Amino acid sequence: MIPMHEVPGSALPGPAAINTSALSKRYGKVTALSTCTISIPEGRISALIGPNGAGKTTLLRLLAGLARPTAGQVTVNGTTPRQDPAFLADIGYLAQEIPLYRRLSAEDHIHAGAHLNPRWDAESVRERLTGLKIPLGRAVGKLSGGQRAQVALALILAKRPRLLLLDEPVAALDPLARRNFLRVLADGVAVGGLTVVLSSHLVADLERVCDHLIMLASSRVQLCGDIEELLAEHQILTGPRKDTTAIERSHRVVQVTRTPRQTTLLVRLNGPVIDPAFEASDVSLEELVLGYMGQDAAPAMAHLTTIGEEK
């Protein structure tokens, strides 16, 4: 009998859909991704978050097998990404640019997909696009950006992949379409057999559907794990004291914001906070994300606060 407190609230991690170890990618002298070690269990919707240029696209392309690692290992669906129809059939990757043949219609793309994939659910694409009133016969180059994104997303789902890698898929969609699409993803995952990695800047959207988070900044992984667990591990401490060395000694301070009267800290907890001068509060996903993004900008912010104090 295992004591209850030893089992975390979330289910035990199942087999991993994605495992990387010390994965790095350099383009010439530019390091796009550095020593990235992550693991995403099957059946999760993982949010890939990070500032522009953090390496999100590079990571997705490495997972899809479109780019080759400079160093490190990747395992996707149990194998190294490779040029093999069976591997490719299980991956759905949608690039940020929404690549479609501009002169071909949605119907042409449906035909092409049927010729190029072992599993292909043409009816689901027609149904979805007809429901969205997107003309199947018109060249996709003549559709609006949002409609093109809908066509591409419907096509990627028709492949019935085990792993969906989506690079800012909802950026072009209106809020309602965004919500509908994310619900489709959530339903797909709930039915089983689907894992999703989704990059986006829209934290509110991600919060609604994602249960896993990968945070990249400056080509490195800052955070990777179950969102609930990550939120539980972090707290915001607010207090009058300017001296934070005691807290820094026992916890990892992610971000410090100082005003003349109080200091706010985002900390990754390492046990309970015992300093009574600080008031602890729960952290939201947005605060967590902005806190880690703000790490890079910290020196500039400190400079600004100094100017404020001198006034």
Partner 1 sequence: MTWLVWRQHRVQFYLGAALLAALAVLLVITGVQMASQYHSALVACAANHSCANLSSTLFLGSHAVGFLVIMTLGAPILVGLFWGAPLVAAEAEAGTTQFAWMQSVTRKRWLAVKIGWMLLAAAIWGGVISALVTWWSGPNNAEQLNAFQPGRFDLMGTVPVAYSLFALALGIAAGTLLRRVLPAMAVTLAGFIAVRVAVTLWLRPHYLSAVTVFYKVTSGFTPPGPYWRLTSGIVGPNGLAIDQNTNANVVGGIPASYLPASCTAQSRGAFTPPASCTQALAHFRGFLTYQPAARYWTFQGIETGIFLVLAAALIGVTALALLRHDA
Name the residues that contact partner 1, by CB under 8 A: 61, 64, 66-68, 83-86, 88-89, 91-93, 95, 97, 99-102, 104, 108, 111-113, 115-118, 159
Q: How far is the CB of 149 from partner 1 (least distance, A)?
A: 13
Pairing of β 252-258 and β 263-268:
antiparallel
Q: Which of 231, 245, 216, 233 is nearest to 287 (CA)?
A: 231
Closer residue to partner 1, CB minimum distance, 18 or 285 = 18
CB of 70 to partner 1, least distance (A): 10
Computed on alpha carbons and rounded to an integer, the radius of gyration of the chain in Å comes to 22
Nearer to partner 1, 111 or 208 (CB): 111
Cβ nearer to partner 1, comparing 121 with 275: 121
**In the bound complex, what is the minimum distance in angstroms from residue 126's beta carbon to partner 1?**
18
Indicate if the alpha-carbon torsion angle 15, 179, 64, 201 is positive or negative: negative
Task: Kindly tell me which of 86 and 302 has the beta carbon lying closer to partner 1.
Answer: 86
Q: Is the Cβ of residue 14 or residue 118 nearer to partner 1 in the bound state?
A: 118
Query: Which whole-number Å values give the CA distances from 221 to 29, 33, 54, in the listed order?
Result: 20, 9, 9
Distance between CA atoms of residues 96 and 55, nearest Å: 13
Work out how close the CB of 84 gets to partner 1 at its nearest, in angstroms, rounded to a whole number: 7
Q: Which is nearer to partner 1, 199 or 222 (CB)?
A: 199
To partner 1, the closest distance from the beta carbon of 230 in angstroms equals 30
Indicate the residue type of 228.
Answer: E
Q: How far is the CB of 73 from partner 1 (least distance, A)?
A: 17
As measured in angstroms, the least distance from the Cβ of 102 to partner 1 is: 7
User: Given the complex with partner 1, which of 8 and 118 has the nearer CB atom?
Assistant: 118
